Amino acid sequence: MEEFQGPEPGRHNTSKIRSLELKQRKWWISVFFCSFLILTGDSLVMLLLNFYYVQNNRSENDQDQQYRGTWTQALIQNVAFPILIPLFFILPKPEPVSDQTNTRHPPFLRVILLYLSLGVLVSVYSKLYALARLYVGWGVLVSAQLILTSLFSAFINRLKFNRWIIISILFTLAADFFCAPAFSGTPTEDESYTYGIKAWLILIFPTLAFSLSLSLTQLGFEKVLAKTKRYGNNKKVFRMVLEMQIFVSFVATLICLVGMFASGEFKELKGDSERFKKGRTYYSLSLVGLALSWQVWSVGVLGLVLLVSGLFADVVHMCASPVVSLLVVLAFDFKDDDGFGWQRRGALLGSVLALACYFYYLHKTKKKEMAELNKRENNNNNNSEEA
């Protein structure tokens, strides 16, 4: 009578290695796709914002009018989330895990608190960023933001910094310092109060809120959503990104609507549309385009937060600035801009080096995972042969 032959250890080893290789390949594709969404969203947002403020004659109005409309811009940043709802239901559902620990302690309340807290943070930085861009411009905002994101990632997310991450952050800061996107809503030189205490307070709070939201979002993915019964334990699926974006944007939209009506800013919408040089149709289209572009950007950012970290999402966002800056210069005629000068070329080089350092670190991490799997499987095969 023949003995039963079980599966060969070598085949089992090969199967696991191929499975990990496939997962890593899908992971890399997702990372590059989300990075593309950030670049696309950043570019469209900056182009449409410049178009909006150029056509709205903000620089020719009195300074009281110059700094209005910020609740509207905050609302536009969040209001288009319903376009993600059909995609959320189209994506395949992961198999739920029947775990007794999850049924005894349902995380429903934690999920609600997560969405509420993030929605408040998003509404805060949406409003204050819209105001800060008009007070202090664009360049200083993102530099301070990356520094705060690094600090929050270290203390909240326990991110371990190595030389490649630190070098990437330094290159990113240098690139953004030399080449921030031009912005037509920037205050004029004769507004001497622009860089006073009020402006710097408006600068600090939105960057603080945005950086904190990235770290809390990463924590929410890892400690709340990944532990829920419907997603299984420690699973990272794109459906999480859409769920997070939809519910957080819903909360932020409600807060921005309340702010817009409480401040009376909704009464100014008619005047803005009438003042628009291209007419009401282009005014409406620019706002719709902005709303959709913000959603593209947000999905890309949340995707990188889920796949890698909040710090990496912020690095990619900032490294897009030189490309966005070049597109803005090509699309609009800004005075005193040297086009593709040495500063812009240096910023592009710095962004490429920053991304190369971070991607090299990620490559080493994935390669180490593969080597550890090979080593573990080889040890198991040797033990089975000795037995």
Q: For 270-283, what is each residue's pLDDT tens digit?
A: 888 888 888 899 99
Highest mean pLDDT among 53-62, 340-349, 352-361: 352-361
Q: Tell whether the model's pLDDT for residue 6 goes beyond 50.
A: no
What is this structure's pTM?
0.88
Instruction: Please check the confidence at residue 190 and state whether its pLDDT lies above 60.
Output: no
| Residue 363 banded pLDDT, cuts 50, 70, 90 | very high
Higher pLDDT, 57 or 245: 245
Binning pLDDT at 50, 70 and 90, where does residue 203 land? confident
Angle at 36 between CA 34 and CA 41, to 5 degrees: 95
pLDDT at 288 over 90: yes
Cα-flanking dihedrals φ and ψ of residue 50, to 5°? -60, -40
Q: What is the pLDDT of residue 141?
A: 62
Question: What is the rounded CA–CA span in Å between residue 103 and residue 6?
Answer: 37
Q: Tell whether the model's pLDDT for residue 5 goes beyond 50.
A: no
Of 115, 121, 35, nearest to 304 by C-alpha is 35
pLDDT at 374: 75
Most confident segment among 141-155, 223-237, 242-256, 314-328:
242-256
Given pLDDT bands bounded at 50, 70 and 90, which one contains residue 3? Answer: very low
What is the residue-averaged pLDDT of the chain? Answer: 82
pLDDT at 338 over 70: no
Q: Looking at residue 364, what is its pLDDT?
A: 94
| Residue 193 confidence (pLDDT) above 50 | no
pLDDT-derived band at 387 (thresholds 50, 70, 90) equals low
At residue 271, the pLDDT reads 81
C-alpha 28/C-alpha 345 separation (Å) is: 28
**Distance of CA 44 to CAs 25, 38, 127, 241, 331, Å?**
29, 10, 19, 21, 11
Alpha helices in the chain (DSSP H): 9-55, 63-66, 70-78, 85-90, 100-104, 108-136, 139-155, 163-178, 197-223, 238-262, 269-275, 280-307, 310-319, 321-331, 342-386
- Residue 58's pLDDT is 61
pLDDT per residue as tens digits for the range 146-185: 899 999 999 999 999 999 999 999 999 888 777 665 565 5
pLDDT, residue 112, reads 93
Give the confidence band of 94 by pLDDT, cuts at 50, 70, 90.
Answer: confident
Residue 192 corresponds to which amino acid? S
Is 327's pLDDT higher than 90? Answer: no
Q: For residue 318, is pLDDT > 80? A: yes
Q: Is the pLDDT of residue 385 over 60?
A: no
pLDDT of 54 above 70: yes
Mean predicted confidence (pLDDT) in 74-90: 95
Q: What does the pLDDT look like over 105-153, one tens digit per residue?
A: 457 889 999 999 999 999 999 998 888 877 765 555 667 788 999 999 9
| pLDDT value of residue 336 | 47
Q: Work out the angle between the directed axes of helices 310-319 and 197-223 (0-180°, nearest 10).
A: 130
- How would you class 296 by CB atoms within 10 Å of its CB: exposed for 0-12, middle for 13-18, buried for 19 or more? buried
85 vs 94, more confident: 85
Least confident residue range of 59-63, 68-72, 89-93, 367-371: 59-63
CB atoms within 10 A of CB 282: 16
Query: Taken in order 213, 242, 245, 315, is the CA torsion positive or negative?
Result: positive
Pair 297, 41: CB distance under 8 Å: yes
Distance CA 228, CA 244 (A): 13
pLDDT over 90 at 347, yes or no: no
